[in-house]
Amino acid sequence: MRLSNLFSRTLRDAPADADLASHALLVRAGMVRPLASGLYAYLPLGWQVLRRIQAILRHEMETIGAQEIHMPFVNPAELWQRSGRWYEVGDELVRFRDRAERDLVLAMTHEETVTDIAGFVIQSYRDLPAVVYHIMCKMRDEPRPRGGLIRMREFLMKDAYSFHTDAADLDHFFSLIRQAYVNIYRGVGLQPILIEALSGMMGGSDSVEFTLPHPLGEDQFVECADCGYAANLEVAVADKGRVEAEEPLPLTPVDTPGAETIADLALMLDTPPERIAKSVWYTVDEADAEDAAPRLVVALVRGDLEVDERRLCEAVGVRALRPATPAEMAQVGAVAGYASAIGLDRSDPEPGEASLTVVADDTIPATPNLVAGANQPNLHYRNATYGRDFTADVVTNIVAVREGDTCPRCQGTLHLRRGIELGHIFKLGTRYSETMGATYLNSDGQALPLVMGSYGIGLDRLMAAIVEAHHDDLGIVWPAAVAPADLHLVALKAEDPAIREMAEGLYADLRIHGYRVLLDDRAESAGVKFADADLIGVPLRLTLSPRTLAKNSIEVKPRLGAALEVVALDDLYAWLEAWRSTP
């Protein structure tokens, strides 16, 4: 490639909306060009990087026996209706109709498509296991695209799918795909952390997320430096501790004028926060008519703990909650500041009346003799005990993990970190095969649902993450395995016929020797050419100039780490071979 006719343009200034280094540098280096929010075009240098990333992905997938296929970007809605996700996924799924009024979607993942195909291709246990993958465009109508290639609306993904006879066979392949992903990330110069994660809309029983620690990453996770435990905040757990066991004592009212917070109660009653039942009130955030009765949810946790709203939403099966108002709480008999689950009307509501769901953290039943609100102004109860004085509709872990909490595995200290999700692998089980009727015949002739796994890597985000991990104040520093070229050949004074002839000859010869070369043959100053070379980030710069030509030599300068050297042209290929073989 020659910079003189490259379909691209470098920029001196970063885009005004760039908050990540990768966003700024990829646009400035002419690798990508934004078209609209969350939509980017790849220009020649950026596409070269993406093609090299794809080659690494294909190698690792085929090493573990995956076969490449191609599936349509446009899916019939009927597939998504059969799986149930047509009804479960919100506005991020792009739905539309064709001229025949048939419902269609732009696929955000391809579980439905591949399950439908597998139901036709796979007939018996002799066809299993089977693993396929494709590298394909996806669409997710993100409400807030950000970070350049980090969170896009249209993006490129490598997604793989495996089919098995049983969970044990899936577990065996899961370890293979996990190692393949580790190999991929190492191959592109990254060292992500493997963390436990939530399967989310994908469904299934288990998943692992590959996350690159980054202070501006969207994902939050916890990590224990002592034992290596790491988990996304959505599934992370901490050792919440246990309070000393006691025999339940009689429920006793106590005046608590003005004590509307946990801190007030602890001070007034000389009671530690872990002996206080905190009730946090929410209303299900639904787009109902204004006069619709509210669906109230009260979360009960110990006073030393905090509610995790994501876990609470999952516990009650809703997408979003908002804080309940005192007026809404009053509809079920609760008094703001002195509320609890004691004495509330839990009977089925009449039409138009507010409903209430009580969710207790799993520490509440294990902690008798709590201080709890009496649902009367300025009054609390001592010795409130679960099962005798109040109950819950759901008992589960709804506590948020915080910085400094105790590790559940080794009693070390948990630390909150941020990161960029690079990939996610899921054990889907029979979640799709059962709903879509994809079965196989076992050795006894019995039809059983296929056991499935799903494995995804976003290529655009991976490319951005490589830049986040490999850049400096001057520009991108591409790892050799994914760089848009191996060598950046800079011809200074390119308008000089002798320089041009030498540059063209060397450009051709280097390519014959198997090097991918970017030739800067523009009529620009040395400063502009060197600045662009640093910005674009090819691993090695070779510079021809009248001065080096007079000495039958060339300047070589690695993009990072090493000083400039002058090498005789006769020795150049030996020098390049030694450089290429250096770890």
Question: DSSP label at 348?
Answer: P
Over residues 241-248, mean pLDDT: 88
For the cut 50, the answer to whether the pLDDT of residue 327 exceeds it is yes
Question: What pLDDT sits at residue 289?
Answer: 39
209 within 8 A of 419, measured Cβ to Cβ: no
Band (266; pLDDT cuts 50, 70, 90): very high
- Give me the residue label for tokens 């020649």: 44
Q: What is the pLDDT of residues 143-164, one digit of tens each?
A: 989 999 999 999 999 999 999 9
Res 201: pLDDT: 54
Q: Does residue 579 have a pLDDT over 60?
A: yes
Is residue 271 within 8 Å of 265, Cβ to Cβ?
Answer: yes
Q: Which two tokens stand for residue 72?
A: 């349509």
Residue whose C-alpha is closest to residue 50's, from 152, 191, 149? 149
pLDDT value of position 480: 96
Q: What are residue 231's phi and psi, to 5 degrees?
A: -155, 145
390 beta partners: 386
Distance CA 462, CA 457 (A): 8
C-alpha–C-alpha distance, residues 492 and 524, integer Å: 8
Q: Which residues pair with 151 in a beta bridge?
A: 146
Pairwise CA distance, residues 193 & 223, whole Å = 9
HSE value, Cβ hemisphere, 13 Å, CA-based, for 529: 24
In the chain, % of residues over pLDDT 90? 89
Q: What single letter denotes the amino acid at residue 437?
A: G
Confidence of residue 243 (pLDDT cuts 50, 70, 90): confident
Contact criterion met (CB below 8 Å) for 135 and 57: yes
Q: What is the mean pLDDT of the chain?
A: 94
Centroid of chain to Cα 158? 14
What is d(CA 424, CA 552) in angstroms, rounded to the nearest whole number? 53
- In this prediction, residues 419-438 reach a mean pLDDT of 96
Q: What is the Cα–Cα distance from 383 to 252, expressed in whole angstroms?
A: 7
pLDDT at 203 over 70: no
> CB under 8 Å to 56, separation ≥6 — which residues?
184, 187, 188, 481, 482
Q: To the nearest whole percent, how much of the chain has pLDDT over 70?
A: 97
285 falls in which pLDDT band (50, 70, 90)?
Answer: confident
pLDDT in tens, 366-425: 999 999 999 999 999 999 999 999 999 999 999 999 999 999 999 999 999 999 999 999
What domains are defined for the chain? Answer: 3-236+416-467 (3.30.930.10), 252-396 (3.90.960.10), 485-581 (3.40.50.800)
Please tell me the predicted confidence (pLDDT) of residue 199: 63
pLDDT, mean of residues 245-259: 94
In this predicted structure, the answer to whether residue 290 has a pLDDT above a threshold of 70 is no
Where do we find the tokens 């066809």? 127
Q: What pLDDT does 288 receive?
A: 45
End-to-end CA distance of the chain: 27
pTM score of the predicted model:
0.89
For residue 129, is the peptide bond before it cis, meaning its omega torsion is within 30 degrees of 0? yes
Closest CA to 68 of 170, 151, 136: 136
Render pLDDT for 102-139 as a digit per residue (tens, 0 to 9): 999 999 999 999 999 999 999 999 999 999 999 999 99
Q: Which two tokens stand for residue 301?
A: 């946790």
CA distance 339 to 362: 19
Alpha helices, DSSP H only, in 331-418?
none
**pLDDT tens for residues 487-518?**
999 999 989 999 999 999 999 999 999 999 99
Rounded-to-integer distance, Cα 150 and Cα 361, Å: 35
Phi, psi for residue 208 in degrees, rounded to 5: -130, 135
The number of angstroms, rounded, from the C-alpha of 100 to the middle of its chain's C-alpha atoms is 37
With a cut of 50, say whether residue 10 has pLDDT above it: yes
